[in-house]
A and B are shown apart, each in its own frame.
Chain A
Amino acid sequence: MTELSKTGAALGEPAPGNAPDAFLAVRDLKVHFPTDDGLVKSVDGLSFQVEKGKTLCIVGESGSGKSVTSLAIMGLHRLGAQGKHVQMSGEIWLDGKELVSADPDEVRRLRGREMAMIFQDPLSAMHPYYTIGNQIVEAYRVHNDVSKKVARKRAIEMLDRVGIPEPNKRVDGYPHEFSGGMRQRAMIAMALVNNPELLIADEPTTALDVTVQAQILDLIRDLQKEFGSAVVLITHDLGVVAEIADDVLVMYGGRCVERGSVDDVFERPQHPYTWGLLGSMPRIDRETSERLIPVKGQPPSLINVPSGCAFHPRCPYADIPKGDVTRTVRPELQQVGGGHFSACHLSPEDRTRIWTEEIAPKL
């Protein structure tokens, strides 16, 4: 992630409208859903970029807008019944093309070939009445002019690569005959069948046990090496992040609260929410008797987003910055190191002190 700009304020500015250098660049993305109870601001001013061959991991609380962001990049919010309601603004640049304002047909053509997505919910992404094989064959043939036989061979090869045992038999199975983890792998096979240049993987390994998980991460790395693909990986498993990320983006309440290289975020995290995330993680390399530091309280409402810093109702340090600034002024992303940004009102001195004295020793 090269820096978009030096100051946080500039990051919130209206997007400049011209193509960026990065392969994927998201600028000030907003995705809002009107509901009977009010406007749900699922994503509210998000910016990031990913170069080819690099992996960006997006982490953050359940409901913080990770999946909504990825569906927006894939142009999937504008489809179906939802499409009439969703309010989207900002820019999404993929390989020099702007997608938010693009013709839906154009985005559809990119989908599956140039960009592919592994969905969080395998069942919802697969058709129950078609065999797994047929669905992969279809995905392949839409973008490749080959016979059914060739496509079937490719489908079996892909199932084999994601570790489905006896792929030549399983290829004729239906989704309900697969275990949860096998369905997820079948979907990964489907997403990778066209060697996409941008792969968005939404919790690709949550339903998988560790051995298969390692295999899938290797597969994603292979894809990257071979085709220089850019990868956006959404996960709540920080073990996976540590393993595969180049850069990390931490989301809270529809916004980015911290981003930087994987080393920045794990070794010099600057945002109280990131501290909470790192602290509430059960680790197998630790004693069970060690205390974890969970993030207390409830996730924020996205209709009545807390004023000022959205994290303030749960932040143990909300009273440290002078006055009631954390409750009234929304903190913008500020550069806190080369390529490392954080959105928090704490002074650099306070941050460093809290991190080194209170948090780091407990991790």
Chain B
Amino acid sequence: MSETKKTDADVTAAPDEREILLKVEGLQKHFPIRKGVLQRQVGAVKAVDGIDFEVRKGETLGVVGESGCGKSTMGRVITRLQEPTGGSIHFEGQDITRLNAAGMRPLRRDIQMIFQDPYGSLNPRHTIGGIVSAPFRLQDVEPEGGVKKEVQRLLELVGLSPEHFNRYPHEFSGGQRQRIGIARALALKPKLVVADEPVSALDVSIQAQVVNLMDDLQEELGLTYVIIAHDLSVVRHVSDRIAVMYLGKIVELADRTALYEAPMHPYTKALMSAVPVPDPKRRGAKSERILLRGDVPSPISPPSGCRFHTRCWKATEICRTTEPQLIELRPGQRVACHHPENFEDQAPQDTVLLSVAKEAASLVAEEVLAESAATSAAVAAEVEGSQEAEPSETSAEKPAAEATADAEATSAKTGPGARTAPATGVQEAKDDGQESTDE
């Protein structure tokens, strides 16, 4: 995957000047729940519940989030394989939200989807050759050198051999099926490819090859990708920008580097801390991992205010009552949170943690809390409170508490738009505390 690495220069190459290819506003997809003989609607699964984002020509937008948060649904709606319940979708400036099948047909060539479930999306009665040449037949395209030759070239590109041409889907391994889906989607050189977990069933070496291939095509043909994945290490390698979803909403949307180095949404931070590291020596090194309290709430009746408040260790009253808007706190970093990490508190007046937040905090490591305290008055108060409750340790702990206060002062001074992460302040201050303990 080395060659595919996006340098930071790519990202900073004035992405804002690139033309917008896809623009999504207020997008919703609700699945009605019906009951009884009359099939009356009794509720709805709010799989996607009001999201806004845009994708620029030639970029790769990664979408991550917990299972069931609406990623695949979002993908199927923006490619118009499912009807949106609300909101709008513009492709190359054209409103495609309500286009009918005939209106969509010419666009089918430009917008392709790679499906999460490779088996379900391949017709078991057609050979692989037939499946991959279908797009050429349907769109009446004759590639140079003929369909068969082109199909064989495509299969080779994704690491399958000509001996696979006449075989049926059930004769393939999981990873091979996924690559068939990729070959089919790339056949007509589309403008936008929405790839739902394109490499999750592939082992690392083929993952690298497929990612390389997608990257080469991007360079050659200016392809644009929306890549849905739960594997944060893969997403980091392929994306220019990343959107983090939680229960049908985007909670953070940022440049790759910003997101990995200074995530602002507590959920992003938790998600990142849980990635397993391939090193048996670090087995059980769970202290750094932020465990989330309880289950993902139901998308049928999502929590009020901030949907994450039932599991967030920073949640205060305002989080329960008021939904935070997705706003640009730093250039290129949009966040929906009242008490973001690595940034100034957006609701400093709210200084009392909800009781669920206290429970959530008990699953979070001290270091994480200390970092959070720097940007949340409520967490700071709580951290301080718990120290007072243990008088035997006050002498050792006190410098840390002061440190927190210091860090707060720093963040207050630097104010909005400050580039320095307040967390660093805590880190330094803590080291000081360490010294004084030793004395």
Binding site for B on A (CB under 8 A): 33, 35-38, 40, 59-63, 66-68, 82, 120-124, 163, 165-166, 169, 177, 179-182, 185, 202-203, 206-214, 236-243, 245, 262-263, 266-267, 276-278, 280-285, 288-289, 291-295, 298-299, 301, 303
Give A81's nearest chain B residue, CB to CB: B170
Which listed segment binds A: B275-283, B373-381, B394-402, B415-423?
Answer: B275-283
B173 and A206 contacting across the interface, CB-CB below 8 Å: no
Choose from A121, A209, A282 the contact partner of B236 (Cβ within 8 Å).
A282
Give A289's nearest chain B residue, CB to CB: B5
B296, CB-defined interface residue at 8 Å: yes
Instruction: Report how far A303 CA is from B166 CA in the complex, Å.
Output: 14
Choose from A262, A266, A284 the contact partner of B272 (Cβ within 8 Å).
A284
B175, CB-defined interface residue at 8 Å: yes
Choose from B64, B200, B208, B297 the contact partner of A165 (Cβ within 8 Å).
B297
List the B side residues contacting A276 at CB < 8 Å. 205
Task: Rank and list the top 7 A-B pairs by shortest CB-CB distance, nearest first.
Answer: A181-B67, A62-B175, A239-B276, A236-B203, A209-B230, A295-B205, A238-B278
B174 and A210 contacting across the interface, CB-CB below 8 Å: no
Give A206's nearest chain B residue, CB to CB: B200
Instruction: Report how far A202 CA is from B201 CA in the complex, Å.
Output: 11
Choose from A60, A163, A283, A295 the contact partner of B295 (Cβ within 8 Å).
A163
List the B side residues contacting A37 at CB < 8 Å. 163, 166
Instruction: Report how far A291 CA is from B4 CA in the complex, Å.
Output: 10
- Asked whether A242 and B176 contact (CB < 8 A) given A33-B171, A121-B117, A280-B208, the answer is no
B72, CB-defined interface residue at 8 Å: yes
Most buried by B among A179, A209, A238, A289: A209
B295 and A210 contacting across the interface, CB-CB below 8 Å: no
**A216 CB to nearest chain B CB (Å):** 11
B176 and A63 contacting across the interface, CB-CB below 8 Å: yes
- Pair count A-B, CB < 8 A: 196
B176 and A62 contacting across the interface, CB-CB below 8 Å: yes
List the A side residues contacting B1 at CB < 8 Å. 280, 282, 292, 294
A120 and B66 contacting across the interface, CB-CB below 8 Å: no
B232, CB-defined interface residue at 8 Å: yes
B51, CB-defined interface residue at 8 Å: no
Give B115's nearest chain A residue, CB to CB: A180
B116 and A207 contacting across the interface, CB-CB below 8 Å: yes
A212 and B277 contacting across the interface, CB-CB below 8 Å: no
Name 22 A/B residue pairs within 8 A (Cβ), A-sorted.
A36-B166, A60-B203, A62-B202, A121-B119, A123-B120, A166-B298, A169-B298, A180-B67, A181-B68, A182-B67, A203-B174, A209-B230, A210-B275, A237-B278, A239-B276, A282-B233, A284-B277, A285-B279, A288-B236, A293-B2, A299-B206, A301-B161
- Asked whether A262 and B206 contact (CB < 8 A) given A35-B171, A124-B119, the answer is no
List the B side residues contacting A277 at CB < 8 Å. 203-205
List the B side residues contacting A121 at CB < 8 Å. 117-119, 174
List the B side residues contacting A66 at CB < 8 Å. 173
Instruction: Report how far A121 CA is from B45 CA in the complex, Å.
Output: 24
- 1/0 per residue B146-186: CB within 8 Å of A? 00000000001001010100110011111110010000000
Most buried by A among B6, B203, B234, B295: B203
Instruction: Report how far A353 CA is from B275 CA in the complex, Å.
Output: 32
**B6 CB to nearest chain A CB (Å):** 8
Most buried by B among A122, A212, A262: A212
B88, CB-defined interface residue at 8 Å: no
**A328 CB to nearest chain B CB (Å):** 23
**A280 CB to nearest chain B CB (Å):** 5
Instruction: Report how far A121 CA is from B120 CA in the complex, Å.
Output: 9
B67 and A212 contacting across the interface, CB-CB below 8 Å: yes
- 1/0 per residue B1-18: CB within 8 Å of A? 110011100000000000
List the A side residues contacting B196 at CB < 8 Å. 180
**A54 CB to nearest chain B CB (Å):** 15
List the A side residues contacting B203 at CB < 8 Å. 59-62, 236, 277
Give B206's nearest chain A residue, CB to CB: A62
Instruction: Report how far A139 CA is from B105 CA in the complex, Å.
Output: 44
B72 and A211 contacting across the interface, CB-CB below 8 Å: no
A298 and B205 contacting across the interface, CB-CB below 8 Å: no
List the A side residues contacting B217 at CB < 8 Å. none
- Asked whether A210 and B119 contact (CB < 8 A) given A163-B295, A292-B2, A294-B205, the answer is no
Choose from B65, B116, B173 the contact partner of A209 (Cβ within 8 Å).
B65
List the A side residues contacting B174 at CB < 8 Å. 62, 67, 120-121, 202-203
